[in-house]
Amino acid sequence: MNLWPARLHHLRRDSPQPERLAKFYGELLGDRVERLGEDAWLLAGRHRRLVIGRGTAGAVPYFALQMQDATQLREYARELEQIGVRCEASPAPLFGAGAFAVKDPDGRRIVFGLPEETCGENGLPARLQHFVCATSRLPEMVKFYGDLGMIESDRVLENDSLAACFLRSDPEHHSFAAFRAPESRPDHHCYETNGWLDIRDWGDRMGRLGIALWWGPGRHGPGNNLFFMIEDPDGHKVEFSAELELMPKERPCRTWPHEQRTLNLWGSAWMRS
């Protein structure tokens, strides 16, 4: 498949109180907030875009991957059709002509396209980098995303049963991951910074805003990145990360045991199952 390389460009977060959520993210990230319509807002900042819409609390109805150019996008759409993956119209207002979407086994859409405008350079460094979900259909989800052309970086196993899988669509360790859970739901999205000092600065910003760290700081096993997480007003988790592992396309998938130390080499972990 002609997916490589593709990077997360934006995602949509829904809330029954979208205006409140847009204000939260605007203050959190220091980004400008624009109205996209009657019930949608756009957060725009340094290498990051976030669409906020009206809907179920914590929902992420789609995430959008940016392709390299129009040729890659066109060839990729043709390859998907050849293997029987149904392509739909894009729901993403930030992508231009030629964008399209597919639906994963949990019903979430993945959009592929090219942005109509470039992301700005102003603001604190935190590039939107990955999206993670929890799912009751983990084997089916991993197969589906593998069929899309994503490459498995790490698997987490519990007694030979799959507990989590991290997949990449460019050299960064994962642009998508899925955890086994009793029910399917969004897990978190992540902003990648330039280094440990940025993690410090973002932590200081959380302190000034009165936002408590929900998990971390710590270091993940898969990905080897430094991190901390917070919760937004709907309970959705937001991660800030640094030093995410880079992996060449040909590097084989590794395995980790299903234990706390895998998810946090420094201490306690958020265990989804």
Contact 12, 6 (CB under 8 A): no
User: Are both 174 and 148 inside the same structural domain?
Assistant: yes
Pair 105, 167 in one domain: no
- CATH number of the structural domain spanning residue 30: 3.10.180.10
Q: What is residue 272's predicted lDDT score, i.e. its pLDDT? A: 93
Task: Among 7-16, 98-107, 109-118, 119-128, name the one with the lowest average pLDDT.
Answer: 119-128
In this prediction, residue 85 carries a pLDDT of 97
- The pLDDT confidence band at residue 1, using thresholds 50, 70 and 90, is confident
Domain assignment present for residue 121? The answer is no
**Domain C-terminal end among 82, 113, 144:** 113
Q: Which of 83, 113, 143 is the last residue of a domain?
A: 113
- 47 and 79 part of one domain: yes
Total domains, the chain? 2
Give 214-255 pLDDT, tens digit per residue. Answer: 999 999 999 999 999 999 999 999 999 999 999 999 999 999
Concatenated DSSP letters of 131-182: EEEEES-HHHHHHHHHHTT-EEEEEEEETTEEEEEEEESSSBS-SEEEEE-S
Residue 269 burial (C-beta neighbours within 10 Å; 0-12, 13-18, 19+): middle
Is 48 in the same domain as 143? no
CA distance 233 to 11: 17
What is the extent of the structural domain holding 198? 127-263
- Co-location of 179 and 131 in the same domain: yes
pTM of the model: 0.97
pLDDT in tens, 213-224: 999 999 999 999
Q: Do 164 and 56 belong together in one domain?
A: no
